A = this chain, B = another copy of it.
Amino acid sequence: MKYGITENVKTIESKVKVRDIIKKIAEKKANAIKYYLEGEEFKQAIIFGAYLSGNYIANMIKPDCEEVILIDSQPHLEDIVTGNGIKFMDLNTFMLKLRNNNSKEINPDLIIDVTGLGGVDPNILKDFDPKVLIIEDPKSSFDKELMEADNTHKRLCVGQRKGSLKTLRSSKISKTSGTMTLTVDVIMDSCMDIKELDGVLYAVPNLEYFEGIVFHEKDVRKFLREVNTPALTVSCLGNLDTEIDEIIDINMNKIHSFVKPVQ
């Protein structure tokens, strides 16, 4: 707590940081996948999409996989990878290996695609024969354009067992299931809820266009630094520290992630 403009008004920052919300959402997705895999073991897992949940999923499934390869079209996203034993590969290198695949270096029995809208080309997937294929469905609340842009069903083209990863919010509008969309929505909705508390002047979300840092500036370290900030700052009269973090929690708990089996 600090004082605001005058000593009557306090400034309270949420204990919850932007990155805590990102992490919590990514964990919900990773747990949904783990639950769907039921402890099954795999020789080679390939995850398409390092950003923003790919890395968490990789770490979650690693104990059950001999090899985990995280693939992204953006080579600089290698910097987002944490944890031992996860191999990063940029999409170009991956495509080259596929073409020259005499050595059978690439032969996944588990494929997970979290690239969402405009992500992995279904044609890349159709020549594999995995035991399990999981495609993240980017759709959330209904939106005609986003529904038409989505090709999840085309990507669900191979695999003995197929599922689509769905991440949705109870009774709240989110336009996609993307981790960044959900993070923004949790913080925005929390600010709206906090604004209604007695004695609150305003609640400011500490948001910026983080994806610009990752994809235009291509600076993953800056991104990680920028999300290491309180999710929101509140200008108010009273001691609302506890209420503020509780409201963020309530909003995070409205997110549900599960893998829906597809025939």
Residues of chain A having any CB pair with chain B under 8 Å: 2-9, 11, 13, 51, 115-119, 140-146, 149, 168-173, 175-176, 178, 180-181, 184-185, 188, 191-192, 195-212, 215-216, 233, 235, 237-238, 256, 263
Contacts and interface: CB of A to CB of B under 8 A. Distances in A.
B205 A205 contact: yes
Contacts of A176: 201-202
A206 B210 CA distance: 10
Nearest to A168: B142
Q: Which of A11, A172, A195, A210 is packed against the most chain B CB atoms within 10 Å?
A: A195
Residue from the set A2, A4, A142, A145 with the largest chain B CB neighbour count within 10 Å: A142
Tell me the number of copies of this protein. 4
Given A149-B237, A202-B176, A196 B170 contact: yes
Nearest to A207: B204
Contacts of A188: 188, 191-192, 205
A51 to B, nearest CB: 7
Given A180-B202, A202-B185, A207-B207, A195 B212 contact: no
Of A5, A11, A185, chain B has the most CB atoms within 10 Å of the CB of: A5
Contacts of A181: 201-202, 235
Contacts of A201: 117, 146, 175-176, 178, 181
Given A9-B118, A117-B8, A212-B233, A170 B198 contact: yes
Given A201-B181, A238-B145, A211 B4 contact: yes
Nearest to A192: B188
A238 B184 CA distance: 20
A204 B196 contact: no
B202 A119 contact: no
Contacts of A173: 171-173, 195-196
A177 to B, nearest CB: 10
B198 A204 contact: no
A204 B208 contact: yes
Nearest to A238: B145
A195 B145 CA distance: 13
A143 B118 contact: no
Query: Which 5 residue pairs are nearest across A and B when measured between Cβ atoms?
Result: A8-B118, A6-B118, A145-B199, A142-B168, A171-B196
A191 to B, nearest CB: 6
Given A8-B118, A117-B9, A118-B6, A143 B208 contact: no
Contacts of A209: 11, 13, 204, 206, 233
